[in-house]
Amino acid sequence: MPDTAPPVPVDSATVVLLREPAPGRLEVLLVGRHAESRAFAGAHVFPGGRVDAADHAPELHAAMASPPAPDMASAIRGGPGAPGAALAFLAATVRELFEEAGILLASDRSGAPLRLDDAATGERFANYRRALLDGVVGFAEIVRREELTLRTDELRYFSRWITPVQAPRRYDARFFVAPMPPDQSPLHDARETTSAAWWTPAAALADAAAGAIVLTPPQTRTLEDLAALGTLTRVLADARERTVTPILPKVVQIGERMGVLYPGDVDYAAAEPGAVLPAERGGRLNRILMDDAGWRRLRGLR
């Protein structure tokens, strides 16, 4: 029987929404996926989803605060391509955040940050959100009616994750970081997501280690990066300076446990997905290992 080619990854976008309610206290928004979701069922993730055809609409791109710098646009696309390809990722990021968490990165027709904390405006946009989720209205139409400016200039490109080849559904996800806008509050959509709450990165990792929540490897790795950076200012500065390269994890067996290899690991280039590797290994490690406390990262030289 011939080998079946792995599914082609679907373009998707994810937003790591951040706030700092007190100096030095960095918090990140995680939404709980419904137990029957098609992707990442039951896990706690950053809001996001696939890039839809409607995210390529020119009128949606024209409503953006400013286009990304050419180097950022090229990085988002992953190489040469039409400028609209990068803008579609940004549009999808803003749309998915609104759909899954009720947060809209936008300015109103006066140019002021969109406020959803007054009853009338909050209810109007709650109705828009329900209609959007029901497929009754498109995101571009909401933007047009309200004369919104999408604050895509608040987004910073942070990482790119490609689902391992063994997965039945695969995504090529661009991760962006952004500060939480004022005068808005997250609210899960009660469809794909069942909760929306703030964690410090360290607390989320600790809760995952204790079995209170489930994190996937991209969330774990990102939370570790956020915990190391420590403040919103440092996260945004790091995002502006970092060079994003695609991360295609390889799922393997390490000893008797499941492991995931990242680029830069001593075994990454040669190992086939699903390979069985020894538990002890010398050389440079860049991997995570599933143990009784969840995913444990191994890195550095051994």
- Tell me the pLDDT band of 189, cut-offs 50, 70 and 90: confident
Q: Is residue 98 part of a domain?
A: yes
pLDDT reading at 2 higher than 50: no
Span 61-66, average pLDDT: 95
The pLDDT assigned to 134 comes to 95
The pTM assigned to this predicted structure is 0.92
Does residue 285 surpass a pLDDT of 90? Answer: yes
CA geometry: angle 88, 89, 91, nearest 5 deg: 60
Cα–Cα dist 231/29, whole Å: 15
Question: What CATH number did the domain enclosing 168 receive?
Answer: 3.90.79.10
Give the domain-ending residue among 201, 218, 246: 246
Number of residues that this document lists for the chain:
302
Residue 269 within any structural domain of the chain? yes
pLDDT for the residue numbered 82: 67
The pLDDT assigned to 202 comes to 97
The gap from C-alpha 63 to its chain's centroid, in whole angstroms, comes to 22
- For residues 32 and 285, what is the distance between their CA atoms, to the nearest angstrom? 31
| DSSP codes of every residue in 180-208 | PPTT------SSSEEEEEEE-HHHHHHHH
For 123-159, what is each residue's pLDDT tens digit? 999 999 999 999 999 999 999 999 999 999 999 999 9
Greater model confidence, 17 or 281: 17
pLDDT digits (tens, 9 = 90+) for 252-283: 999 989 999 999 999 999 999 899 999 888 89
> Which residues on neighbouring strands pair with residue 208, listed in sequence order?
none
Asked if residue 5 belongs to a domain, the reply is no
Residues 41 and 138 in one domain: yes
pLDDT grade, residue 1 (50/70/90)? very low
**Domain of residue 269, residue span:** 251-301
24/43 same-domain check: yes
Residue 297 lies in a domain: yes
Structure tokens at 90: 């940004």
Among 200, 227, 246, give the residue marking a domain's end.
246
End-to-end CA distance of the chain: give it in Å, rounded. Answer: 41
Instruction: Tell whether 159 and 78 lie within a shared domain.
Output: yes
Does 135 share its domain with 277?
no
One domain for residues 235 and 109: yes
Looking at the 3D structure of the chain, how many domains does it have? Answer: 2
